Amino acid sequence: MLIGIIILECLSAGVRIKLKSRKGPEMLLPITSTINQDGNISIGGCDCVRLKTSYQTPLYIVDITTVKKQCRDYLDCFVFPDFGSEIIYASKAFCTIPMCQLVRSEGLSIDVSTGGELYTVLKSGFEPEKIYFHGNNKSYEEIKFGLDYRVGTFIVDNFEELETIDEIAGQKGLKQNIMLRITPGIKAHTHKYIQTGAQESKFGFGFHSGIAMQAVKKALESDNVILTGLHAHIGSQIFNIEVYDRLIDAMTGFVGQVNANQGVMLKHLNIGGGLGIRYLPDDRPATIGEFAELVHDSLRKNTKKHKVDIEKIYIEPGRSIIGNAGATLYEAGTVKQIPGIKNYISVDGGMSDNIRPVLYQAKYNAYIAGRATNIDKIAGGDAEIGAPAENKYTIVGKHCESGDLIIEDIMLPGVKKGDLILVGATGAYCYSMSSNYNSQPRSAVVAVEDGKSWIWVERQSYEDLVAKDRRLYEGGSVESESLFSHHQYK
Ligand code: LLP
């Protein structure tokens, strides 16, 4: 499985550290995934069958060891002798208080893109100066919230936002650090819904018609903001990392133009997130080490080419921090066979806990968590299952839509009602994009590490679903209150 070992030169505080990085596929399931003596998949030393007994399904499982490894890989590999760096976790991938606390304890900064994410991150105890506030339509209240709590940097998306920040910061007697979000006109090869760098994008200031230059000029003229640098994010789930070389070329080229035009050298460059991850055994994303090497080479080359002086580079990974650290455990219910046409496995969740297959045609891999006996280490995702995988199934959810699909056409051994199905790589953009469609309570999130498991987010109850509902008319009574005691249906 391993193609080979390459030595990556990561540089730490001027000292050369030889970092071994696997050339070849990254993990698909969490790195602690094994098959135990009972033939069950275990993650973080916790048997999935026991997790089901303790916490029920559907269940999001987060492997702390994998999250820590990803954070440390970023921090180790993005250390350069000639450029400073900062790793900012993109909280939108999975924004819960314990996750924010984990990335904080690993030494990352964090970004938010709404008041709600900002609230969660502040609640987690994150230092405000390590928070980067994004968003293409921040409301007045959200901007004020950020300024009230002194977030470190606003990533300014448009002229109105710039004016509002300047105005409120002025009232407070603050000088607020900002970066400008630039749309560099670069299309990443990824699903069109998650491309963000193209000229027609809704985000940021484009080079087209000199708008980005006007934004720089306006920011420099605003009394109550300090323009520290530029930001760009071109998309997500990117496999062809060479596109970052084009991005750095475009951005440093613009920094050169700003210097020529405004006489100011902008020294901080944020190139967003976007590194792809492994969802299927055949996926071959770049490693974090390869990504860092490319960014470093490109910075060296392009700062010379455009005669600019970049002091610090910022990276904003979301998916590549949490994606493979997470997996979702379901219980198989109805198994429907349409002879010669299709075999369906219906699981007890679906598009409410993972909208990605429906929204982006995202592909996933699945395993039978309680019947996998052949090999002991399956983090690479190639679990050989005890019985031959000779049946083609489509795994669907329990929602009232034909499009409610998790995996189309996967080969598995015969599946029966009650089997536990583990879907890999669901750590990013699944819980954070989950919904209560069909009044399905949100699933619990459980963390695992060193043989221990504990709740990160509790499963919603039926009561939670109606907690914000009010009466038909003010003062009327809720008829159903007398019909049953809802406490017994948790
Ligand atoms: N920075 C900015 C400004 C972003 O908008 C994003 C993601 C990131 C960083 C992190 O990108 P990542 O490293 O996670 O690729 N819901 C979609 C993904 C949307 C990404 C939005 N922005 C999905 O499920 O694939």
Phi, psi angle pair for 43, to nearest 5°? -125, 130
Please state, in angstroms and as integers, the Cα–Cα distance from residue 303 to each residue in 58, 87, 441, following that order.
Answer: 49, 21, 51
Q: What is the pLDDT of residue 487?
A: 54
177 pLDDT above the threshold of 80: yes
Q: How far is the CA of 316 from the centre of ligand 1 (A)?
A: 9
Question: Which protein residue has the closest C-alpha to ligand 1 atom 5?
Answer: 233
Give the chain's count of helices (H) and strands (E): 12, 23
The dihedral sign for the CA sequence 132, 138, 142, 143: positive
Q: In terms of pTM, does the model score above 0.85?
A: yes
User: Rounded to an integer, what distance in angstroms lies between the CA atom of residue 471 and that of residue 313?
Assistant: 53
Q: Which of ligand 1's atoms lies nearest the C-alpha of 432?
A: 16
Give me the residues paired with residue 62 across strands.
326, 447
User: Rounded to an integer, what distance in angstroms lies between the CA atom of residue 327 and that of residue 120?
Assistant: 23
Cβ–Cβ < 8 Å for 76, 19: yes
Strand residues in 304-390 grouped as ranges (E): 312-315, 326-338, 342-347, 366-368
Q: What is the pLDDT of residue 51?
A: 98
With H, G, I as helix, E, B as strand and everything else as coil, classify residue 114: coil
What percentage of the chain carries pLDDT values higher than 70? 87
Q: What is the CB neighbour count within 10 angstroms for residue 174?
A: 15
Question: Given the structure tokens 């994008």, which residue do they identify?
Answer: 201
Q: Is 316 in the pocket of ligand 1 (CB under 6 A)?
A: yes
Instruction: Determine which helix (DSSP H) or strand (DSSP E) holds 146, and give its type and residue range.
Output: helix 140-148
Q: Is 319 in the pocket of ligand 1 (CB under 6 A)?
A: yes
Domains in the chain, CATH or no CATH each: 1-63+322-460 (2.40.37.10), 64-321 (3.20.20.10)
Which of these ranges, 411-415, 452-456, 483-487, has the smallest mean pLDDT?
483-487
At 61, list the tokens: 């499982």
Q: How far is the CA of 231 from the centre of ligand 1 (A)?
A: 14
Q: Is 222 in the pocket of ligand 1 (CB under 6 A)?
A: no
Number of residues that this document lists for the chain: 490
With H, G, I as helix, E, B as strand and everything else as coil, classify residue 230: strand
Q: What is the CB neighbour count within 10 angstroms for residue 476?
A: 9
Cβ–Cβ < 8 Å for 93, 134: no
Strand residues in 256-412 grouped as ranges (E): 268-270, 312-315, 326-338, 342-347, 366-368, 391-396, 405-412
Q: Is 69 in the pocket of ligand 1 (CB under 6 A)?
A: no
Please write the tens of the pLDDT for every residue from 264-303: 999 999 999 999 999 998 999 999 999 999 999 999 999 9
Please write the tens of the pLDDT for every residue from 92-106: 999 999 999 999 999
Question: Which protein residue has the closest C-alpha to ligand 1 atom 24?
Answer: 429
Please identify every residue annotated as catalytic: 400
Cβ–Cβ < 8 Å for 397, 403: no
Cis ω before 184 (30° cut-off from 0): no
